[in-house]
Structure 1
Amino acid sequence: MQCSYLDAGTCRSCTLMGTPYPRQVEAKEGRCRELLGEQPQLRWLPAVRSAESGYRNKAKMVVGGTARRPTLGILDAGGRGVDLRRCGVCTPGIRAALPVIARSIARAGLEPYDVPSRRGELKNVLVTESPTGELMVRFVLRSRQQLGALRRELQQLRRELPQAVVVTANLLPEHRAVVEGETEVPLTERTTLRMPMGAVDLDLRPQSFFQTNSPVARALYAQVAEWVDEAAPASAWDLYCGVGGFALHCAAPGRRVTGVEVSAEAVESARSAARAAGLQDVEFLAGDATRFALDAAEAPDLVVVNPPRRGIGAELRQWLERSRVRHVVYSSCNPATLAADLAAMPSLRPVRARVLDMFPQTEHVEVVTLLERAG
């Protein structure tokens, strides 16, 4: 993949750009195998590869420049905006939408937030594309001051960008190195983006986490569902369930499935998707995954975990090690913490593993592992 931004030294986010893609995947597989170690019972399945470009379904663009000539991309060392609206790892739908959004910002007179002086209103624009081509567009503002201007511009924006079915304003008043704030102001009637993922359609709300590579996410859900069906548990938990992707794909007649997620908004998305799919014996709870496990009266037959980069932590891995859970499916975006967690659970042996390249051109990788209790 060729990138004019990298060639010009404008952006260096894609650290593997220039390395042939097959070599990228081989290196990621090698690193995961090395971290998990040689284990006679462990079988590695062929890696799931991605398109080299146009794969990223979410763009997090910092807004710079001026209200008349905004930039969408990153900030340089001096806090000035660097435009990356033609970024090649974003989906074609997002790349086509960004110039339209930039024109909309200019028409509305939304003043970009200037980091050095801490003045201005519009901080970021977040755009997510569904596999259907529909878009969620979120304007991250410092205050409500320019909400009126954004509302007045909304009709014209949607005329030029009819795919934008969900549009919101997110409020981030603090001067912090974060992408979004806690308050979301819906500007359209629709507030969820439908994400078809093969067997199940997921619902994505503005502040809910979703994998950034839709085709590879679909393969991940299918792989986990296959392993779960082979294990045939009567009960299963999906911890750190997000919008319920694993839980919904693992649901089956006669199988009790419980998803647990700290984000109440993500839980509402999961419940909505379960209702739409007519799934029975599936429930979703808002709360801390570790606390839920420690307080449970009994353990399920199988647990799926999909933690953040830090891993599942000492308390949950100790609980899993001592529990009667027969199988664990561990999906990880950080193979180093995965290896550390597995080393602390020697009774749960990895028997299958698979690398899924969610993030071409970068060092990041997703690896999913099926664990089986020894004895």
Structure 2
Amino acid sequence: MKKRDILELKIEGMEFGGNSYGYIEDRRVDIKGGITGQTHKVLIKKIRKDKVEAKSLGIIENSPIEKADICKHFGECGGCSILSVPYEEQLEIKEGQILDLFMEKDFVGFKFLGVEGSPKFHEYRNKMEYTFGDEEKDGPLTLGLHKKGRMYDIITVDECFLVDKDFREVLKSTVDYFQSTGLPYYKNLTHKGYLRNLVVRKGLNTGEMLINLVTSSQVKFNLDEYVNKILDLDIEGKIVGILHTINDGLADVVKCDKLNILYGRDYLYESLLGLRFKISPFSFFQTNTKGAEKLYSIAREFIGDEKDKVIFDLYSGTGSIAQIVSKNAKKVIGIEIIEEAVEAAIENAKLNNITNCEFIAGDVGEKVKTLKEKPDLIIVDPPRPGIHKDALKDIVKFNAKEILYISCNPKTLVRDLAEFKKANYDIVKVKGMDMFPNTPHVETVVLLTRK
């Protein structure tokens, strides 16, 4: 085996994050994607002492465990990598991946409660961020998700299993309309063009929908006809706002230079475990509403019924966790670096008549040093990279009796747990929550207690 060889690889196992591996000439070979039991044609890219990296050139043979229904986009679209695996087996795969990561760190003596499944494993997402483009160079306008492994090719996912009929109708209507206008899509290489993204949000418990068309400022175009077309759609949800966001940034991300309200309002409401949340176009909210209710119920169960605790909620976002656990607390203090999220958290607390929550805008690592109150319990729900090492040291200094760690990335979770273990904390309970069915991702909730 040498670099640039094209060989066959039988997938022997899957790791968290979407990578898989097999063996060629007794050497472990890692690829992106892949399902245990599949056979791939692979291109050998790197040969190192400890491992070999390859790129899949296509599936030669499917896995015996691929028995589930798939949408017509599966295999081309980069959205769902394990949609073909029955849902119960997806949960077993994720349980094994979490336990493997814990065993690699020699974590023992904790209670593992498995991975709880999402109440819905199809049509569960409450937000989709679509991109305008084409499926092939100079082809007709498309609107949807990136093709698997392709940076620029976009496939119109009008039969996607991740979202309900309302999303699909808005997507189809939007791409049909803009195909008829002949307007150019924005090209990231040249930074020229008009149409950039379509962001659709829906309160799955309230039915309220927010449609946000994102363009550059390079073309002046009257969008009244588009607005009327969207409002005329026969959908189950209620469209409460149609927005036009101007984004002239060079990066391939949705950001707002200017926001115009074309119809209605620039927010929607969603309910979660009896509480009501106001969600603005760019505020973070868990993308799986029904799954979030399960996730926060697990968090509340791990915290227990004592109501005299002072709780710090670090990386608090729009304050959904803080407000949900506030019934189990004397006081909750949330810290979040994004000011807009903090403003939303304060507003949502008022909306729900919650008076024992305080929210602070700022960097967690800096703000925790300024807090005079001492927490009985600290909740950490960091982004995918985990807790910054300096912030982790400051968290430990509070000497809280308990820490509840909610993680969207078990790899950085176990790294941080090793540091908490060094600081005299024991892992008591671990439970996974599958917030992202048909994808390689999973949330994990861990309760730690101070020795």
* Length-normalised TM-score, structure 2: 0.75
> Number of residue pairs matched?
370
1:1-375 equivalences under 5 Å are 1-6=69-74, 9-37=75-103, 39=107, 41-50=109-118, 51-65=120-134, 70-75=141-146, 77=150, 79-106=152-179, 110-131=183-204, 132-143=206-217, 145-146=219-220, 149-151=222-224, 153-160=226-233, 163-181=238-256, 183-252=258-327, 255-346=330-421, 347-374=424-451
Letter of the 1:47 counterpart: V
Deviation at 1:118, TM superposition (A): 3.3
For residues 321 and 80 of structure 1, the distance between their equivalents in structure 2, rounded to whole angstroms, comes to 46
Q: Which amino acid aligns with 1:4?
A: K
Is there any run of 5+ residues in structure 2 with no aligned partner, and where?
1-68
Aligned partners of 1:328 and 1:166: how far apart in 2? 40
Answer whether contact 2:248 2:257 (CA < 8 A) is retained: no
Contiguous gaps of at least 5 residues in structure 1:
none
What's the CA shift string for 1:325-366, capped at 9, x where partnerless?
Answer: 111111101001010101001222221111111111111111
Greater share of strand = 2
Cα displacement (A) at 1:97: 2.4
Letter in 1 for 2:273: G
CA contact (8 A) 2:81 2:438 kept: yes
2:270–2:278 Cα contact (<8 Å) kept: yes
- 8 Å CA contact 1:253, 1:280 repeated in 2: no
Identity %: 29
| Residues in 2 aligned to 1:112 and 1:58: alpha-carbon distance in whole angstroms | 22
Instruction: Name the CA shift for 1:338/1:81 in 2 (closer, same or farther; >3 Å).
Output: closer
Shift of residue 170, structure 1, vs aligned partner: 2.3
Distance in 2, matches of 1:267 and 1:78, equals: 34
- Deviations 1:153-208, CA, capped at 9 Å, x for gaps: 42442233672212222222123222334543333442222111113122211111
Q: 1:122 & 1:247 partners in 2: Cα distance? A: 38
Instruction: Classify the secondary structure of the residue corresponding to 2:96.
Output: helix
| Greater Cα offset, 186-195 or 104-113 | 104-113
Deviating runs (4+, > 4 A) in structure 1? 38-41, 75-78, 106-110
Deviates more, 1:302-311 or 1:197-206: 197-206
2:305 is paired with a residue whose SS is helix
The structure number with the bigger radius of gyration is 2
Q: Quick check: 331-340 or 83-92, which moved more?
A: 83-92
CA distance in 2: counterparts of 1:285 and 1:61, whole angstroms:
32
**In 2: Cα distance, 1:86 partner to 1:153 partner:** 22
The range that moved more, 71-80 or 221-230, is 71-80
Structure 2: how far apart are the matches of 1:29 and 1:253? Answer: 29
Match in the other structure for 2:46: none
Q: Higher RCO, 1 or 2 (CA under 8 Å, sep at least 6)?
A: 1
| Structure 2 CA distance for partners of 1:330 and 1:253, relative to 1, 3 Å | closer
Q: Higher helix proportion, which one?
A: 1
Q: Distance in 2 between matches of 1:341 and 1:254?
A: 25
Whole-Å separation in 1 of the counterparts to 2:442 and 2:159: 24
Compute the RMSD of aligned alpha carbons. 2.6
